[in-house]
Structure 1
Amino acid sequence: MKRKLLVWFIIFLVVFVLAVYIDYTAITASSKPLETLNKFESYIVPRFGLDIKGGVRFVLEAVDTPEVKVTSEAMQTAISVIQKRVNALGISEAIVVQEKGANWKRIDVELPGWKDPQKAKELIGQTALLQFKTEDGKVVLTGAHIKNATLEFSKDPATLGQPVIAFQLDSEGAKIFADVTQQNIGKTISIYLDDKLLMAPTVKSAITDGQGIIEGKFTKEEAANYAALLRSGALPVKLNFIQEEVVGPSLGSYTIRMAIIGAIVAFLLVAIYMIIFYGYLGILSALSLIFYVSLELAVLFLLHATLSLPAIGGAILSLGMAVDINVIVFERMKEELKLGKTLKSIINAGFANALRTVIDSNLTVLVGAAILFYFGTTIIKGFAVTTSIGILSGFVSGVFVTRLLVELFLPQSSVKKPWMWGI
């Protein structure tokens, strides 16, 4: 029996060391420039929410128009388009999610670390409907066939060095463009973006390779933004900005400092409480909680969970739930001790009889967290995720790790020493 316990103890130590290594690497990586991180550090570096890192948050709402009605399919397409546009901004931690329930027509966009809300609004909210029109106003091609669009610089001697947009069409678009240019040689084909005329060149010959250049006296930044819009595609529905929130990084640094202090104080208070009320058992519980904290952080880093202030609050809340498991088990063990049973019987009865209550209480919290995750906004989702991970980590810590420590390190003589049980 002891040999089996030692094997489990070695497994516990290996998991604990790995968790501590992940935690240490992730925390140290958060203070390094992104370009200096190795592959593993880049994978686990903490992601911070707006209230910690600072940045911009928008809420957009889709509205019906005479031409287009808002549908669930259109909302999914809009989210995909916005995600591509956000990626074009170079923000790796951006969040784009659709709200649930009565607000299903709303999209939450969070851009941690972004400092220019106006530029973000222009890129995210622009419809970006590209149209090629013949002289009679007929639309012969749209941006739906754009395969790629990039910023380039003109090689034409008349406009040498001017920023232009180079585009490439998909196979269907290339065929359409070839036919249209063949039929309009000597005529103009106007190019519009959201009904704004960009250029109206005269077709000199058929263009069959599906590639072209859009000129419009752009600045370099304008051409790059237009190219990003064309790559991401046009929004299928009209979106209105109904909320905008800017969070400064100074507020973020203050909140993270206070959150860290709060987490440390919470852990110390819980550990002191357990030692006062359960003596030696409380010390073993505190060791189990150290494992719980390291495991929870490691899982959060590996899952790329966004650490906002409510999310950290959820992690601290789950600390109380984790120690609650020990309280239930230890109280049951104290009852068995008063009945004069052997140490083995006390441990078996304590954990076995308390297990159902522990499972019921944890399952109830997990169901509530799942509902919050499904219906909540991004901030509420972060709270639900960290709470759920904390509950699961706490269950492993409170049920398995605490029992392992109790069976290995609680001496037989303790049944005659009530102070070791907090009695």
Structure 2
Amino acid sequence: MKNYPLWKATLVILVISLAIIFSLPSLLYKENSNNWFFDNKINLGLDLQGGSYLLLEVQTEVLMQEELNNISDSIQLIARGLQTNIINIISEEDEIQLRFSNNDKLEEIREKFKNNYRNVNVTINNNTMKIVINEIFKKNIKESAIKQSLEIVRKRIDESGTKEPLIQRSGKKRILLQLPGIKDPERIKELLGTTAKLTFHMVDDEDTISLKANRAPFGKIIVADFYNPEIKYLVEKKSRVGGENLVDAKASFDPQEGHAVSFRFDTTGAQKFGKATSENVGKRFAVILDGVVITAPVINTAITGGSGIITGNFTSQEAADLSVLLRAGALPAPLSIIEERSVGPGLGADSIASGKIAAIIGMICVCIFMILIYGVFGLLANLSLLANLFIIVSLLGTIGATLTLPGIAGIVLTIGIAVDANVLVFERIKEEANKTTSALEAVKNGFDKALSTILDANITTLIAALLLFVFGSGPIKGFSITLSLGVLASMFTAIMFTNFLIYLWFNFSNKKEINL
């Protein structure tokens, strides 16, 4: 093309062609497609396609009680090693009192205990030791539990196959979930409501007296059976190996027991598991999940390969869900659902229809205005505006963005501001046309002189959009993404595509002067 660089023309044609091609999946929106091309489409958010909204709360009170129990166990082990008897233990909200038979070795017990627990206050009064958890200790435990719960919830939701969920922290100890397309969240609630703390303990079948009396001796606990709570097991309190050593778990099928879950340990877990089974051949090994025994098989031979299988009258879905939970890891504390809402697809359909109408009306008004004011140049600006929309849609689809109502607002806003750059260019061309006799020279000077103003205006908008993305959350981020992509697309179409169209029009029309 005369007076226009070949590389610019090639770049413009290539970008616009790719934009049209990659916007087709989102515009056609073919559901449940196995084609990689149609999978690159815009995902609709909760407010557009419906779904479920859940607000979870981490039960940190349970966590503090567990920590007090751990402190009590630690003191008992130290006292036992120093041959000092504990007469009484009283546990309250954030403190624990232990009364000893004498105070001969209380200072030594305190020193050994403080080596492991630094952020606690320990006082001694005669033969009584009082341990108080301070605010720093509690804050660290709670903060760690919230962060860990957030990551585990994210893993569980991702493993369940939910597309484009929104998972974020809300307040001090709450987690917000938005699950687009999930009309029945019962399975998700079951996945999130299970702590999934898996441990392996040796069963004590010899001490039947303690089991019948329902009183566990030191170092042992009594645990009920999952399927029949009346059946009790006396097991070692300290687990031989835990779920933290699992590296994989998946649903499988055992010819004799039916649906099961096969698991595999890491190197450390495999060594612990191998040692436990080697030393206890002929004894029972209890698999405890969330405080109940799901199976307690007899160890027939040492298992040194680091893998095994859990059976327990599972259905196919239960085995699949348990494998998801074990892969994601155990929650540090239980989660409770404090708010649940369902959004129907009807509201989303109305929103999409309203968004389309707003976009169409906005485009028509802008197009009419541009043609009335700038004539042929206005028509070329309208073509640039259409290309701008194709670029935005193709970019959103390529990155797999989730479109929400604020996102639609960002696109509609982009339509209004997309012609700003064209208006600046056309006004500059009009000024240059009065100074020079050459139309093409006026066009070139107009674009060159308007460039700095266009960049300044759009960069300030991009900075604002970036701040919204960094400090905003959820829908605000969606708005900032569509606004940013719209600004970048409008800069390209105004500086490159409109310029290309004007030179193309001059080459085909053989016009010698500009009418603006």
TM-score by length of 1: 0.86
> 1:83: Cα distance to partner?
3.1
**Match of 2:52, as an amino acid?**
V
Q: Once superposed, what is the RMSD of the aligned Cα atoms?
A: 2.7
Instruction: Identify the residue that residue 16 of structure 1 maps to in structure 2.
Output: 16
CA distance in 1, matches of 2:426, 2:337: 54
Q: Is 1:208 paired with 2:276?
A: no
The question of whether the paired residues in 1 share the 8 Å contact of 2:194 and 2:334 is answered with: no
Instruction: Identify the residue that residue 378 of structure 1 maps to in structure 2.
Output: 474
Query: Please, which runs of 5 or more residues in structure 2 have no aligned partner?
Result: 68-137, 203-234
> 1:280: Cα distance to partner?
1.8
Instruction: Identify the residue that residue 255 of structure 1 maps to in structure 2.
Output: 351
Matches for 1:104-183 after TM superposition, within 5 Å: 107-134=175-202, 135-156=235-256, 160-161=257-258, 163-183=259-279
CA distance in 2, matches of 1:104, 1:387: 31
Q: Is 1:45 paired with 2:41?
A: yes
Query: Please, which runs of 5 or more residues in structure 1 have no aligned partner?
Result: none
**Match of 1:141, as an amino acid?**
V
CA distance in 2, matches of 1:377, 1:7: 41
Secondary structure (helix, strand or coil) at the match of 1:263 reads helix
Instruction: Identify the residue that residue 513 of structure 2 maps to in structure 1.
Output: 414
Secondary structure (helix, strand or coil) at the match of 1:128 reads coil
**1:325-355: CA deviation from partner (whole Å, max 9, x where unpaired):** 1122222333344556643443234323322
CA distance in 2, matches of 1:374, 1:106: 21
Matches for 1:361-376 after TM superposition, within 5 Å: 361-376=457-472
> 1:322: Cα distance to partner?
1.4
CA distance in 2, matches of 1:72, 1:400: 51
Instruction: Identify the residue that residue 51 of structure 2 maps to in structure 1.
Output: 55
Secondary structure (helix, strand or coil) at the match of 1:139 reads coil
Instruction: Identify the residue that residue 154 of structure 2 maps to in structure 1.
Output: 83
CA distance in 1, matches of 2:428, 2:487: 21
CA distance in 1, matches of 2:415, 2:174: 34
> 1:243: Cα distance to partner?
4.2
CA distance in 2, matches of 1:151, 1:332: 68
Q: Is 1:391 paired with 2:514?
A: no
CA distance in 2, matches of 1:81, 1:377: 20
> 1:398: Cα distance to partner?
1.1
> 1:229: Cα distance to partner?
0.3
CA distance in 2, matches of 1:224, 1:407: 62
Say which is worse superposed, 389-398 or 86-95, in terms of deviation.
86-95
Distance 1:5-1:227 versus aligned 2 partners, 3 A rule: same
Instruction: Identify the residue that residue 93 of structure 1 maps to in structure 2.
Output: 164
Higher share of residues assigned strand = 2
Q: Is 1:27 paired with 2:24?
A: no
Matches for 1:303-382 after TM superposition, within 5 Å: 303-338=399-434, 342-382=438-478
Q: Is 1:267 paired with 2:338?
A: no
The question of whether the paired residues in 1 share the 8 Å contact of 2:192 and 2:335 is answered with: no
CA distance in 2, matches of 1:303, 1:126: 33
The question of whether the paired residues in 2 share the 8 Å contact of 1:63 and 1:70 is answered with: no
Instruction: Identify the residue that residue 235 of structure 1 maps to in structure 2.
Output: 331
The question of whether the paired residues in 2 share the 8 Å contact of 1:62 and 1:70 is answered with: no
**Match of 1:268, as an amino acid?**
I
The question of whether the paired residues in 2 share the 8 Å contact of 1:308 and 1:379 is answered with: yes
Greater Cα radius of gyration, structure 1 or 2 = 2
The question of whether the paired residues in 2 share the 8 Å contact of 1:147 and 1:231 is answered with: yes
**Match of 1:22, as an amino acid?**
F
> 1:387: Cα distance to partner?
1.0
Matches for 1:61-76 after TM superposition, within 5 Å: 61-62=57-58, 64=60, 65-66=63-64, 67=67, 69=140
CA distance in 2, matches of 1:10, 1:213: 60
**Match of 1:313, as an amino acid?**
A
The question of whether the paired residues in 1 share the 8 Å contact of 2:4 and 2:503 is answered with: no
The question of whether the paired residues in 1 share the 8 Å contact of 2:249 and 2:264 is answered with: yes
Secondary structure (helix, strand or coil) at the match of 1:153 reads strand
Distance 1:223-1:329 versus aligned 2 partners, 3 A rule: same
Secondary structure (helix, strand or coil) at the match of 2:354 reads helix
Distance 1:125-1:282 versus aligned 2 partners, 3 A rule: farther
The question of whether the paired residues in 1 share the 8 Å contact of 2:438 and 2:513 is answered with: no
Secondary structure (helix, strand or coil) at the match of 1:363 reads helix
TM-score by length of 2: 0.71
Higher share of residues assigned helix = 1
**Percent identity over paired residues:** 36
**1:296-343: CA deviation from partner (whole Å, max 9, x where unpaired):** 211111111112221122122122221111122222333344556643
CA distance in 1, matches of 2:2, 2:26: 36
CA distance in 2, matches of 1:73, 1:323: 50
Instruction: Identify the residue that residue 187 of structure 1 maps to in structure 2.
Output: 283
Say which is worse superposed, 59-68 or 49-58, in terms of deviation.
59-68
Say which is worse superposed, 239-248 or 253-262, in terms of deviation.
239-248
Say which is worse superposed, 125-134 or 69-78, in terms of deviation.
69-78
